[in-house]
Structure formats: C-alpha cells, structure tokens
Structure 1
Amino acid sequence: MSEQLNYPWPPASATGVGSFPGTDPDEAMRIIAGELPDLVHLPELPARGPGADMIGRSAALLVEFPVEAQPSGWRVAQRPGRDLRRATSYLSYDLDVLEEHAGDYTGPLKIQLAGPWTLAAGIELRSGEKLLADAGAVADLCASLTEAIGSHIARVRALVPGARPLVQLDEPFLPAVLRGTVPTASGYATLRAVEPVTVEERLRTVFAAIADTAAIPAVHCCAPAVPVDLLRRSGARVLGVDATALRQDSDEAIGEAVEEGVGLFLGTVASTDTHLSEPATNVGPIRELWHRLGFDPELLARAVVVTPTCGLAHASPGYARAALAACVAGARVLHEEPRL
C-alpha cells in the first residue's frame, strides 16, 4: 500500500506543469525557484519561438536524429541545421540559468521532455507525412530519445548535484494516437490507431531508461480521456493530469495507481488570467476526486502535488506567478485540513 511508501517530495508540495510565459529564462527560473521551493522545475518558454516549443526543445536532445523547422512544423532533416542549433542554444542557456538559481537546491527537480508518441505525432517525415505513419521511424525515434534522456539527466545532475531528477514525459497527443485521430499530412484523413501493446512497449522502454539512472519516471497528459492503466503499466511512477477535466470513469484506474504508490500531479488552478479563488476552492476538484477514491485523507497531501492546469505559457507573467503561489496555498490547505 502507498501508505508505506515514501514519495520523493515533502507533504503539501506544489509544482508547475512546465511551460511559462515570457521570453526571459532568467526571470522565469527566479520566480519558479522562489515560489516552488519543494519541487522546482525547469521552465519552458515557447514564446521565444521555434526551438523553445515542446517538440523543438526535445528534438534538440535527440541523438543522430536531426530535424528542421518547416511552416507546417518540425520535420526530419538530412543533417543538423540552424533550427536545431537554435533549439540547442535555448536549452543550454536554460540549463545555465538553472545552475545559477538552483545550483544549491536539494530535493526533487522536474524536467520535461515530449514523450515518444507526442514526438511521433508532432514530427514529419521528409515526405511531409507524420512520423507516426512509419513504424520503423518510430522505433528509431524511441531509440534516439532513450539515449538522449540518459545524457540529459547526467547534465542536470552535474549542474544541480543535490537534486533528484524527476523526468516528466509530456504526452498530450497520446489519446489521439490510441484512437486513430491524428490527421494525415493532407488533413483529409487520419492515421491508423496504434495498438495499445505497441504504445505500452515503447513507453516502457523510455520509462525504464529513466529509472535506470535513478531518476523518477513521470508522465503528463492533459486530455480528459487519459489512458491511466496503460501509463501505470508502462512504468510511470508519477501521473500528471488535469483534475478539472478528469472523467469519473478514470477513478478506478487512478485508484489502482495510488494503491501501487504512484504519485499524482493534479492540475486545478486555472492557467489563464482569471480571478483566483480562495485556496480551498481552488483545490475543490482534488478533494472531490479523493473523496470518490475513498483513500485515507491523511494520505492526500503526501501522494498529491498541486499544479496549475495546462497552458500557463499563455497567461501574463504576473498571473503565472500568482497561479504558482495559489498552488502552494492550495497544497497547504490539503495538508492542514485532511478530513474531507
């Protein structure tokens, strides 16, 4: 039972999903290190343009798998070019900023990468079709990503020696991959659904590569129909989902994950500029989920980390900072008032 397991974060923790508004990594990292002292994360600033986006940022790490930016998105290239150099430069600068603001940090440190299936659905073959359409290309991509992850974790550890890396694979396209709703290049049809056993096999390989480095394998999917069972079986030890969008038919799968000691990152604070409610109201969806699951209220603030919902990069910088503070306040409410 999860009551006997140790989660890698302290009770009443909060963190961000990953993306953050603005174009100044130094300011973003300063805010995150200040507002989220128990579970710092390396922010992504997509407003900087191609190479700072989710796909381009992760592609910058791939081994012998060059890509380039096209008007339609990222595409496999013959050799590394300026687009990949720009993405690599963005990431290198961000890591320098991480060392500057969190070099003495001790505790769990979250870094985000696009997962293999989101990369496969987001990168085009040289023909223009999605890489997802070619099983051999998907295998090559997964092998490249698996090798890249080990090097990336080692680099983060060198910069922040006291950190225990938590590697979050972002898989927003995963439900579409499983349903067969990823559009073809023409947009007039969709690509065939990938069998769950294949999806699970590829994910298990990547999660195992993370675990082999003694880092914590995590996954985030903000779609309502999150394939929780599949992700748990694949080896994810943390599941990040949007608590405000979860369907109740996911409750049983989430309960089984918690039983196995899997931690939950639950998005509940609005990620776009709005009036922030009182902390107890902000975490209402989390309380409701926990009540439906029927677990000991004392476990809630240990197993669950409070986050914003997806899309914080589209907020104003001031609101983003307030949203992180609201997550921290909400997590404290869950800890201080465990009886639901």
Structure 2
Amino acid sequence: MAGKRRNAQISFYQVRSATGEPFGDKVNWQELLSYISEQSIEERRHFINGANHWGKSYHYKGIWHLLLARKRDEVSSLDLGKDELIDTESDASSPYVEVTFIHFIPKTNSLGLVLGSNAAPRVSTLAAWINQHQVLDEEVEIVPVIDARVMEKIYSAKSAKLVKVTFEADHPDRIRQSSALADAAYRMQERIGDVEISLELKVAPSPRERRNLLEEVQSLAATRDFKKAFASLISIDDDGNERTEAVDFLNNRLTAKAKITVTDKDGKSVRVHSAIDAIYRAIENKRGDLPELASTLDKIVIEQALSAPRALSLKQRPRPAIEAGSDASDPVTP
C-alpha cells in the first residue's frame, strides 16, 4: 500500500528589521534554535491572535528547524505532557492541521515555510512568536521574497501611473514611515479602528507625478508590508516607445509546488521529514532566482553554520536550569 501524499506550497521569506530594512549580516539561526530546544514547553508558549502557540526546535539531517503549533479547541497537534507533536512518531492516526514547518537557511536571513494546512499559523504569526519570545536584541518582521525578475521590472521602470494596495487590519505603527501609502493607511486606522484599508492611486500623464508614484511603488516593494499590491508600470523599450505593464506583487512571490508524504506504506507518519525535505528541494530549484540562498542539504557543516556572523545578537539569557541528576536534554522551568 502506497503512502498518503498531499499537495503543498513552499513559500520563501526574508527576516528583516521591524522597520523593513534588510540586515547587513546574518542571524545565527542554529544557535538560536539550539537555545530554544533547551527551553521548557511553557517557556515556548505565547498567546497570539487569541490562541496559544508553541514553537518547537526539531533536529533533522544534522541541523535545527522550527515547528510552530497553534492550539485548537477541537484537536491539538501538541501533546503538552510529552512535548511531542501528534502525527509525528507518536500518533499517525490523529492528523494535525495547525502546524507550520520552517527551515531557516544557514548563512542567510531567508527561510522556507510550508503550512500543515490552511488552518496552520501564517508567517505573520511566526514573526509575532519570534518577537514575543525575545531571543533577539530587537524585533523583526518577515516579508515575502518577490521574484527577482519582477523586482527588476519595478526598479528599472521609468514611471508608474496606477497603484492599488491593501494593508492588513493590524497595520503596525512602526512601518508608517516606509511610504506615503503606509502612512495614509495608518492615519485612517487611527481614526476608524483596526480595519483593512485598500487604497488606489492614479496620476495624470505628468512625468513628475508618475515618477513620484513610482517611488511609492518601489517603497512598497522594498518593505513588502501589505496584504495585496498591484501596479501599472511604464518602461521605455529599445526603440524609445513607451510600454505599460501590470505587475501583481503577490502573484509573483517566490514559491514552489510540492508533494508532502503524510504516511509511508506502513502507515507511519513521515509528515515532518517530508515537509523539510520538500523545502530542501525547493531551495535547490530556486537557487538561481535567489542568490542569497545556499544549498543546505547534507552539504551544510553544522560548525560552519554556528560560526556565521550576524547583525542581530541573541539576547544574553541564562540557559534553562537543569536539575541535579536529570538528563541535560530535559530542561526544567527555572
């Protein structure tokens, strides 16, 4: 009997400062995840968007990965007593639907992510969990990676004549300076409340106004703090003719389709390993589109990952206390 499989999508993101600026150096994700692996399950719990969420470091193929689980009333993916994910090695007959699998690519500030299902925690929840966990010396945001060819179109355009953008209801105060559009949305939410704001700007066929609008489009592309964004760009071809092209930012996010194996032929769950392997394959396939991405597979030497420089430092915190005589892999709450 063949194992069960399902369709999935791997999405790529970049971790940036809370103001949307890229970090100059790289976060040491392996050191961070190793530290998290020593924390108790209660230390790894954070209340986000009305629900408890737990992060869990997961060691596979010589390096650490992160699993993010969301508690649901009807079924939970996490055995709080054993600190085990249901539907890994413990209970393949009780499939979870609210776990997200994350692979932080060593020596980069990029990550690959795949949802356990549509009910799994989104990337915004991952950013909130990292910020609440306070293991870095400042807050971060996580933005989608847009296809390099689309970014080239945005930055090589001569002007723009239309932009449409939708901001999330929880549009953060910290990015209001990123663009005039973000500031306008913030001001509206300040007066109305936490509502989703959609803005559309059109400009007359004036070179100055169109160049100004292009700057707004480029600011949006740089910070990527939006739910949806669309622009009508103007470029000049080799013959000097004006050409208009529509660009949908989110339809051009860098993603990859994959098949995730849920159970093997014997019915044993292999979902976690299969999801991480799918991210590895996507990284290999997208290396040409994302120069920052390095092959991680079995070629990564863990000592090299641990020596990577970083712009953010891990907060200097005492390690979780270990009771005398207890196993070092079994941290207790301080």
Larger strand fraction of residues: 2
The higher-RCO structure (CA 8 Å, 6+ apart) is: 2
Shared fold by TM > 0.5?
no
Larger helix fraction of residues: 1
Q: TM (normalized to structure 2)?
A: 0.25
